Amino acid sequence: MSKPTIIPIGPYHPLQEEPELFKLYCDGEIVRDIKWETGYNHRGIEKLSESKTFDQVFFLVERVCGICSTSHPFAFANCMEEIAGVEVPDRAKYIRTIIGEMERIHSHLLWVGLAGHFLGYNTVFMWSWKYREPVLDLFEMITGNRNSYAMFKIGGVRRDIPDNMIPVMQKELDALKLKLNLLTGAVMDDPVIHARTKGVGILTREDIIDFAAVGPTARASGVAIDVRKDDPYAAYPLVNWKVITSEAGDVFAKTEVRLLEMYESVSIIEQCLEKLKKEKEGGIDVRVKNVPEGIGTGRAEAPRGEVFHFVITDGGYTPVRHKIRAPSYVNIATFKKSCVGQSISDATISLAAVDPCYCCTERMAMAYDYHTRIAMMGTADLLRMSREKTDNIRSSL
Amino acid sequence: MAFKDFIFKKSLWLFHFGGASCNNCDIEILDCLTPRYDVERFGMQLVGSIRHADVLLVNGSINKKDKVRLLEIYHQAPKPILVVAIGACGCTGGIFAEGNTFAGPVDKIIPVDVYIPGCPPKPEAIIGGIVNLINKQPA
């Protein structure tokens, strides 16, 4: 075989919002191998955590990833509560679950939008980001910030959801369901999206198990793993919901899983709000005076999959060791299977399909070869190729 | 009015450089483009290459690996270029300033024209910051 052409995507690339370098080794139009390079987003969070008190660590882990800014504090809270042996009041459990599920809705809407953008379908991008705004407004109402909510602490939550907010939330959720119906209809029935995503970036059940992939990536291949069911935490065992799975394992299945998961999330929030109504306001935390010496693990289901936190404490005010495993770290490895053998124009959507979050892992494209200084195909070209393919399909229909 | 002042009066094109950030500022910058905020009505748009840009938006704390690339991007940029540091991390390093890989903040590496604080700054704040940037230009 002749020397493969290397197409770099990243590290600073309009395709991905975060820095990460992917090198596609191509033979003609076909991707033969893929390598990725991380470190552009390394902030030394685990080390920083050792210099912060337990209350401060929540603000730090919240900034591991801005999109899953509830999942990391959620897992850390589960972990610390395991060490301290604290049982969280029911009201705090419901509030935690509501915030966690609202985050899932906004994250999935964000992904559907970006996936549409990569396919050259900017209408989907604009729609779904417009529908995402009311969710962020609800966040602002409850927590005071659109992202990074600072709701969690050891033993409970920092802010209550007062009774007068519940009808406002229910009204917004009803409106959101109608919008989700529109979006789901538009995405699931669109022949161009079908043609671009079906049979693209397939991951089989075996691949998922080999790569230890988690979250919607695994569920789209028929592997029903979900921390919320497998290792229930917060109020998830107290409400009725089901794990959404799909069998095909392609990009379309991943889209389907995410879209349907949003309905489940809405249903979980509605049930939690009903239960909150019955409880009295207040009593959202238990006081934790001291964290004893110990080792704890905490898990939470982020929008992208399982978040795992491991903490060692020595009876002091700070963690002695804090280990974080984010879902994208394991999901990114599946690119070796999903991208290889595909054409370059499908590579972008295959990469986007696992909803990679490099802040969690640690982003993509410089248009120059570092050593030879020869201009190569950049992100703009990749996006153009992806969009041209969509246009071609659209015109041939 | 010199020519270089004139070009900053209308239709600023933005290039976004996200350093070692938590993604929130990146998402809020993208949010500015979406229907509710829609900065494109002011002629602003995100461009894919620094060579087309009038404004360089930098967010996130800058780590050792990013620093080299930020400098390279700044040198590639057509001058004059306006630099905006977005978010607590872009302005000071924020919560990551004590990190062992931290090599910033942005104003220690490249000259910054406007700071937009906040963690993350709301899209209104980002639009406000850009408006300040335009108003700062000599008439």
Of A13, A17, A146, the CB nearest to B30: A17
For residue A307 the two structure tokens come to 């978040």
Question: What is the ipTM, given to two decimal places?
Answer: 0.89
B138: closest CA of chain A, how far (Å)? 31
- Report d(CA B37, CA B15) in Å as an integer: 18
pLDDT digits (tens, 9 = 90+) for A191-211: 988 988 888 888 999 999 998
Per-domain boundaries in chain B: 12-103+111-125
User: Which one is the CATH code of A53-329: 1.10.10.10, 3.50.50.60, 1.10.645.10, 3.90.1170.50?
Assistant: 1.10.645.10
- Report d(CA A129, CA A121) in Å as an integer: 13
Asked which of A122-136, A307-321, A356-370 is least confident by mean pLDDT, the reply is A356-370
**What's the mean per-residue pLDDT of chain A?**
86
CATH 3.40.50.12280, applies to B12-103+111-125 = yes
pLDDT band at A15 (very low <50, low <70, confident <90, very high): low
Q: What is the mean pLDDT of residues A280-288?
A: 87
In terms of pTM, does the model score above 0.90? Answer: no
User: What's the angle, vertex CA A366, arms to CA A363 and CA A372, rounded to 5?
Assistant: 135
Of B30, B31, B96, the CB nearest to A43: B96
Q: What is the mean pLDDT of residues B81-105?
A: 89
* B135/A contact by beta carbon, under 8 A: no
- In terms of Cβ atoms closer than 10 Å to its own Cβ (0-12, 13-18, 19+), residue A5 is middle
Higher pLDDT: A283 or A78? It is A78
* B34/A contact by beta carbon, under 8 A: yes
* B59/A contact by beta carbon, under 8 A: no
B21/A12 Cβ within 8 A: no
Asked which of A4-13, A163-172, A272-281 is least confident by mean pLDDT, the reply is A4-13
Whether residue B111 has a cis bond before it, omega within 30° of 0: no
Greatest CA separation for chain B: 46
Q: What is the mean pLDDT of residues A22-35?
A: 84
pLDDT at B135: 84
Residues from chain B contacting residue A39 (CB–CB below 8 Å)? 63, 65
pLDDT band at A368 (very low <50, low <70, confident <90, very high): very low
Asked which of A22-31, A168-177, A194-203, A259-268 is least confident by mean pLDDT, the reply is A22-31
B18/A12 Cβ within 8 A: yes
| H helix or E strand, kind and range, residue B82 | strand B82-86
Residue A226 predicted with pLDDT over 90: yes
